[in-house]
């Protein structure tokens, strides 16, 4: 079978707020081949990714992504790898490429696994999917009292691990940050796992990060996530040397295998966090899960959006029993909640288990797509280059 | 003064061919502040970069680039650095950001230097600009005879150094590649500097690259450029250990300081090649020129387009006497040739000297902009989000 069509559905909340909640819009991708549909999601600016799909060629290594996807044979896993390589070669100088490819790759895995009537993780070579312990992932409150309240809520909801991130943390005084971490620890209780995500707030400034280590230590924070931007290898390495029991986590900004590998090889990470919707899809995420395991670095998904994106980011390490944590967004937008007909939620044991249905096991909800769809129309030199697909 | 307007001009040849000639289109950027205009160029897919300028916000770290630029104070170099940091923070999760920022940053330097009536290199802190020896940069011919002819031509035109790249090289047999390099050496003559650029053709495959080393050695090739994709640090390092006198060159794909630094720290490069139109502009390119010099790695521009882009990419290392080579495209499109009223060409001594006029010293030609302009119109939900500016 050949890839007959690829469609992008740009969904958005009516109002997008200036907060770190990545679930306020979504770029859903549908790949069609051999009478079957696969679905994926790009963790990416939707309009920019759509432009990278249709833009005119600039030269032989800066082509629109569609040139390397439409009409391609898609029969087996090797075809997915071949298409990945082709996209990256033909669109080498188009920076947005990896984010756009990610959703397409996820949809190709979903489609192939459906055709072969098995879950994606089986197609990836894992005999089974191990349940993961979810850490409730949410933003810091605007003040410690709000953080304390949110921590209590997730604890009462049954989570034994939680991560707080973004918001005011790292932007004000060291004292204010100390109070935030303290509030999170108190709200969660002594025995829960507490993780902190600072969303690259210190750029590459090790000195700013260092000042927060005592409070993180006192509150027994398991990992400090993204003190620096992805790729600031030397800063990560320097901070790790001082951080002791606090492991450094990072990698969500990685856009290909080499960037992820560099974070393992040269950043002294304790935990590599990969978003299948950014790194190039399930193919690249699986390669990095293998690489991390071979180098004693914990692998974990990065996900802050829908159940579809969550399933896609869990598949690459589903079969690795020792990588037993997973990020689980607990306060997503109505768009993210409604976008799929089924949702991945913690089971009676409090853990997340991937569906054993074919493909990703998560289907989009057509009503939600229709409800949140943003119509895009791009004209070049007076001619229509792109128009959003209609939803049946 | 504040930034009042930023305009993008998407220029294209009427027909873009499927070859590695990056001068077939251009994205020109004009920044206006305090009654003055500065010009820059993004080495980027034009439509995708325009989309990154105007796209709706996805969340607090995925904003359109214009949100961090329009209305900003632009009085001094510190403002340029501040705007760079703001763009990268607010558009962290928008992958295209660095390519779009590049043209804006270049235009801000041009504008500031014009205001202060000095060349950009002076504003960068260099007392003077040293002339550079240009290497004639062009594509391999489709066969060795064509490559031999092109080599003879640039030699007769007075160039003492030449680089051949892309085309069929690395895609066929080792023997065919040997013949190509041999033809280039014979066409150039024994005493000229010969460089080879393979445009990431081997991905990260060290074995494929290794097979070409004997011919490169026999033909005394000065450097082998981009055997692998930017960021494939381990592959570069492994090949460098076997390459002996043949230095490895790379870095044109770097999109920020950290990626360039990683190529110096971990890829065993002999030469770091930075395109100011991709890496984030003159600001980041200068930081990398300083870093390379401090680590005994030669810095050189990457440029395959207009005189405006060439001037922008030369400014960051203009004052470093020992980095005395520069890439010089010799067979650009009519668009690239006509786009500026003045052109940077080798002087009577065969070398390239930056103009000592204010700013970049290169002005766009309004007639050429009008001639090659591609009109872009983007509508979201039935409302115009973006329309190309008109040319006065």
Domains of chain B, by residue range, sit at 3-119+365-387, 123-338
**Which residues, other chains included, contact B356 with Cβ-Cβ below 8 Å and sequence gap of 6+?**
B119, B129
User: What distance in Å separates the CA atoms of residue A78 and residue A109, rounded to the nearest whole number?
Assistant: 11
CATH code of A3-121+365-387, in short, is: 3.30.390.10
Q: What is the pLDDT of residue A391?
A: 86
pLDDT confidence tier of residue B391, bands split at 50, 70 and 90 = confident
Q: What is the pLDDT of residue B330?
A: 87
Biggest alpha carbon–alpha carbon distance for chain A: 63
Q: Locate A78 and state its tokens.
A: 């090797």
User: What distance in Å separates the CA atoms of residue A284 and residue A98, rounded to the nearest whole number?
Assistant: 10
User: What distance in Å separates the CA atoms of residue B30 and residue B7, rounded to the nearest whole number?
Assistant: 5
Distance of CA B254 to the CA centre of its chain: 10
Fold match, B3-119+365-387 / B123-338: no
Number of helical H runs and strand E runs in chain B: 14, 13
Hey, are the CB atoms on A380 and B47 less than 8 Å from each other?
A: yes
What are the pLDDT digits (tens) for B58-104? 999 999 999 999 999 999 999 999 999 999 999 999 999 999 999 99
What are the pLDDT digits (tens) for B215-272? 999 999 999 999 999 999 999 999 999 999 999 999 999 999 999 999 999 999 999 9
- Min Cα separation B57/chain A (Å): 7
What are the pLDDT digits (tens) for A50-67? 999 999 999 999 999 999
- Give the one of B12, B60, B229 whose C-beta lies nearest to A258's C-beta: B229
Hey, are the CB atoms on A262 and B231 less than 8 Å from each other?
A: yes
What are the pLDDT digits (tens) for A154-166? 999 999 999 999 8
Give the pairing of strands B133-139 and B325-329: parallel
What are the pLDDT digits (tens) for B155-184? 999 999 999 998 899 988 999 999 999 999
Of the candidates B255, B223, B262, B252, the one whose C-alpha atom is nearest the C-alpha of residue B240 is: B223
User: What distance in Å separates the CA atoms of residue A286 and residue A265, rounded to the nearest whole number?
Assistant: 17
Q: Scanning every residue of chain B, which has its alpha carbon at the shortest distance from the alpha carbon of A11?
A: B58
* Alpha helical stretches, state H, A14-142: 46-54, 77-90, 97-115, 120-123
Hey, are the CB atoms on A378 and B377 less than 8 Å from each other?
A: yes
To the nearest whole percent, how much of chain B has pLDDT over 70? 100
Hey, are the CB atoms on A92 and B253 less than 8 Å from each other?
A: yes
- Give the one of B233, B378, B379 whose C-beta lies nearest to A262's C-beta: B233
Radius of gyration of chain B (CA): 21
- Number of inter-chain CB pairs under 8 A, A vs B: 208
Q: Scanning every residue of chain A, which has its alpha carbon at the shortest distance from the alpha carbon of B259?
A: A231
Q: What is the pLDDT of residue B392?
A: 75
- Min Cα separation B98/chain A (Å): 8
CA torsion, ordered A310, A311, A316, A318, to nearest 10 deg: 110
Q: Scanning every residue of chain A, which has its alpha carbon at the shortest distance from the alpha carbon of B374?
A: A381
Hey, are the CB atoms on B232 and A20 less than 8 Å from each other?
A: no
Q: What is the pLDDT of residue B166?
A: 85
Q: What is the DSSP letter of B170?
A: T
Which residues in chain B have their CB less than 8 angstroms from residue A233's CB? 258, 261-262, 265-266
Which residues in chain A have their CB less than 8 angstroms from residue B225's CB? none
Give the pairing of strands A298-301 and A325-329: unpaired
To the nearest whole percent, how much of chain B has pLDDT over 90? 95
Q: Supply φ then ψ for residue B211, to 5 degrees.
A: -65, -25
Number of other residues whose CB lies within 10 A of the CB of residue A357: 16
**Which residues, other chains included, contact B344 with Cβ-Cβ below 8 Å and sequence gap of 6+?**
B307, B310, B311, B314, B352, B354, B355, B362
Q: Locate A92 and state its tokens.
A: 């080498």
Q: Locate B6 and state its tokens.
A: 């930023």
CATH code of B3-119+365-387, in short, is: 3.30.390.10
Of the candidates A235, A226, A231, A384, the one whose C-alpha atom is nearest the C-alpha of residue B260 is: A231
User: What distance in Å separates the CA atoms of residue B309 and residue A375, rounded to the nearest whole number?
Assistant: 36
What fold characterizes domain A123-338? TIM Barrel (3.20.20)
Which residues in chain A have their CB less than 8 angstroms from residue B51's CB? 45, 47-48, 50-51
Residues facing residue A221 across a β-bridge? A194
CA torsion, ordered A270, A275, A278, A281, to nearest 10 deg: 110
Hey, are the CB atoms on B57 and A94 less than 8 Å from each other?
A: no
Which residues in chain B have their CB less than 8 angstroms from residue A19's CB? 59-60
Which residues in chain A have their CB less than 8 angstroms from residue B12's CB? 56
Which residues in chain B have their CB less than 8 angstroms from residue A60's CB? 18-20, 166
A194-218: average pLDDT: 96
At residue A326, does pLDDT exceed 90?
Answer: yes
pLDDT confidence tier of residue A273, bands split at 50, 70 and 90 = very high
Collapsing DSSP states into helix, strand and coil, what is residue A248?
strand
User: What distance in Å separates the CA atoms of residue A322 and residue A159, rounded to the nearest whole number?
Assistant: 19
User: What distance in Å separates the CA atoms of residue B155 and residue B194, rounded to the nearest whole number?
Assistant: 11
Of the candidates A218, A197, A219, the one whose C-alpha atom is nearest the C-alpha of residue A209 is: A197
HSE-CB of B367 using CA atoms within 13 angstroms: 4
Hey, are the CB atoms on B380 and A382 less than 8 Å from each other?
A: no
Biggest alpha carbon–alpha carbon distance for chain B: 63
More confident residue, B338 or A331: B338
CA torsion, ordered B42, B45, B47, B50, to nearest 10 deg: -30
- Give the one of B199, B255, B375 whose C-beta lies nearest to A95's C-beta: B255
Distance of CA B355 to the CA centre of its chain: 19
ipTM over the 0.95 cut-off: yes
User: What distance in Å separates the CA atoms of residue A312 and residue A283, rounded to the nearest whole number?
Assistant: 10
Angle CA B296–B297–B299, to nearest 5: 130
- Give the one of A48, A62, A203 whose C-beta lies nearest to B96's C-beta: A48
pTM over 0.80: yes
H helix or E strand, kind and range, residue B366: helix B366-372
- Selected for mutation to probe chain B from A54, A93, A259, A376 (highest B CB count within 10 Å) is A93
Q: Scanning every residue of chain B, which has its alpha carbon at the shortest distance from the alpha carbon of A374?
A: B381
To the nearest whole percent, how much of chain A has pLDDT over 70? 100
User: What distance in Å separates the CA atoms of residue B337 and residue B368, rounded to the nearest whole number?
Assistant: 9
How would you class A31 by CB atoms within 10 Å of its CB: exposed for 0-12, middle for 13-18, buried for 19 or more? buried
Of the candidates A264, A193, A197, the one whose C-alpha atom is nearest the C-alpha of residue A228 is: A197
Hey, are the CB atoms on B47 and A46 less than 8 Å from each other?
A: no
- Min Cα separation B273/chain A (Å): 15
Give the pairing of strands A271-274 and B325-329: unpaired
- Min Cα separation A115/chain B (Å): 31
Which residues in chain A have their CB less than 8 angstroms from residue B259's CB? 231
- Give the one of A19, A97, A258 whose C-beta lies nearest to B60's C-beta: A19
User: What distance in Å separates the CA atoms of residue A59 and residue B21, rounded to the nearest whole number?
Assistant: 6
How would you class B378 by CB atoms within 10 Å of its CB: exposed for 0-12, middle for 13-18, buried for 19 or more? buried
């Amino acid at each position: 079978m050949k890839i007959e069509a690829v469609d992008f559905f740009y969904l958005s909340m009516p109002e997008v707020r200036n907060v770190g909640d990545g679930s306020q819009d979504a770029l859903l991708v549908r790949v069609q081949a051999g009478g079957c549909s696969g679905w994926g999601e790009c963790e990416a600016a939707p309009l920019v990714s759509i432009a990278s799909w249709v833009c005119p060629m600039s030269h032989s290594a800066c082509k629109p992504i569609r040139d390397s996807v439409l009409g391609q044979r898609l029969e087996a896993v090797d075809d997915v790898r071949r298409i990945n390589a082709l996209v990256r070669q033909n669109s080498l100088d188009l920076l947005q490429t990896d984010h756009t490819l990610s959703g397409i790759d996820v949809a190709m895995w979903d489609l192939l696994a459906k055709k072969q009537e098995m879950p994606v993780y089986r197609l990836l070579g894992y005999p089974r999917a191990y349940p993961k312990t979810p850490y409730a992932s949410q933003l810091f409150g605007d003040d410690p009292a709000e953080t304390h309240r949110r921590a209590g809520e997730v604890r009462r909801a049954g989570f034994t691990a939680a991560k707080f991130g973004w918001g005011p943390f790292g932007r004000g005084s060291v004292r204010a940050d100390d109070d935030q971490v303290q509030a999170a620890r108190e709200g969660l209780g002594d025995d829960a796992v507490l993780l902190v995500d600072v969303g690259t707030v210190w750029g590459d400034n090790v000195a700013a990060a260092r000042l927060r280590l005592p409070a993180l230590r006192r509150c027994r924070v398991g990992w400090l996530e993204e003190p620096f931007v992805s790729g600031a290898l030397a800063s990560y390495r320097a901070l790790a040397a001082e951080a002791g029991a606090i492991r450094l986590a990072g990698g969500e900004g990685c856009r290909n295998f080499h960037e992820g590998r560099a974070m393992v090889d040269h950043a002294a990470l304790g935990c590599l966090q990969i978003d299948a919707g950014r790194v190039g899809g399930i193919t690249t995420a699986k390669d990095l899960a293998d690489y991390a395991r071979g180098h004693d670095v914990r692998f974990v998904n990065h996900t802050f959006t829908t159940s579809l994106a969550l399933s896609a980011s869990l598949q690459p390490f589903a079969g690795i029993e020792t990588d037993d944590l997973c990020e689980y967004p607990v306060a997503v937008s109505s768009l993210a909640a409604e976008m799929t007909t089924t949702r991945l939620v913690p089971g009676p044991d409090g853990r997340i288990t991937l569906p054993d249905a074919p493909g990703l096991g998560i289907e989009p909800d057509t009503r939600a797509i229709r409800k949140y769809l943003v119509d895009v129309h791009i004209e070049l030199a007076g001619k229509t280059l792109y128009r959003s697909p209609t939803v049946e």
